[in-house]
Structure 1
Amino acid sequence: MEIPIRKLFPRTQNGFVGVALSEDTQTYNVRVDWTRDRVGKLLIDGKPTVEVATPPEFSGPEGIISPEDLFVASAAVCLMTTFVTFTKKMRFEYKGFTVNGTGTLQKLEKGYQFTKIVLNATVTVESEELRPKAQRALELAGKYCLVTNSMKCETEHINNVVVE
């Protein structure tokens, strides 16, 4: 007998799917102050202030980081940091890591939404023997990246390992 997905992963009061496995909870606080037109400053205690704005495609100024940039960047940064975590656990060294992220924003019935993020990651290792470990660390990073796991849009990971 097939069990409906709702019974396997019940929706919680806040809409998330799944069951909390621990009481370990983190909170992250930010503040945005409007400065002019469609521009503001992002403030996070103990970190550099970042100027933010509506993107140029929506009448914002050129050259200022937008929420759309930050959305895609958060996925890319999380993939990197999760990869680094797994390389530490797997005890292997790599020479380089780069991830290019592309987010697709589309106008849907409910307005604009990200419908897909593609993360194209490349790891550089010293020897062919390290290729399987690097590939596995990339796979695990994609599976456990908490940011992409929290996004409702599709995320695609393209993993590359280069030996130099």
Structure 2
Amino acid sequence: MSLSDQSREYLVRVVWTGGKSGDVLVSNKPTIRTGSPPEFGGTKEFHSPEDLFVASASVCFMNSFVVFTEKMHIRFESFEVEAKGLLEKVGQSYEITHLHMKTKVVIESEDLRSKMARALELGAKYCYVANSMKCPKEYENEIVVR
């Protein structure tokens, strides 16, 4: 399946389960238990909105990167991204003010390094979830030859 210029909608339902917790429901997908983080009176056992915010940008970046490696016909052995969102008080509220993604890609040959760097660059450029976020994004990419 490929993206077209056609608009899409994504339907998510959140159901309160008590306290500061709830379930994220998406049709035909596993439930995500969520709630406020401990620093805001919640519990650490559930994913917080902050976790999901950072994760959504990271997953989109990974997916975009994979799309470009497929288009470029290049292979990698492994990919991981460790992402950190900085939550700060801005005025009377809080905002994620910076998103840092540290990526490690393992490849089998030095010959692939420049193409892999390009795929990472394009993955960041075309990650529409991160592009929809107003905070600055920083990408730190490491390419390792095994």
TM-score range, shorter chain: over 0.9
Task: Using the TM superposition, give the Cα deviation of residue 114 of structure 1 relative to its aligned residue in structure 2, in angstroms.
Answer: 0.6
* 2:68 paired residue number: 86
Map 1:23-62 onto structure 2 (within 5 A): 24-62=6-44
Match of 2:124 among 130, 138, 142: 142
Q: Secondary structure at the match of 1:105?
A: strand
Task: Using the TM superposition, give the Cα deviation of residue 160 of structure 1 relative to its aligned residue in structure 2, in angstroms.
Answer: 1.0
| Alignment gaps of 5+ in structure 2 | none
Deviations 1:106-150 (A, max 9, x none): 001141001000011111100000111111100111111101100
Larger Rg belongs to: 1
Output the CA distance in 1 between the equivalents of 2:5 and 2:85: 33
Identity among equivalent positions (%) equals 48
**2:120 counterpart letter in structure 1:** L
Output the CA distance in 2 between the equivalents of 1:156 and 1:132: 20
Output the CA distance in 1 between the equivalents of 2:66 and 2:56: 15
Q: Secondary structure at the match of 2:71?
A: helix
**2:80 counterpart letter in structure 1:** T
* 1:152 paired residue number: 134
Between Structure 1 and Structure 2, how many residues are aligned?
143
Output the CA distance in 2 between the equivalents of 1:108 and 1:33: 28
* 2:53 paired residue number: 71
Output the CA distance in 2 between the equivalents of 1:78 and 1:38: 27
Relative contact order (C-alpha < 8 Å, sep 6+): which is higher? 2
Moved over 4 A (4+): none
Q: Secondary structure at the match of 1:63?
A: coil
Cα 1:23–1:98, aligned 2, differ >3 Å: closer, same or farther? closer
Q: CA RMSD in A?
A: 1.0
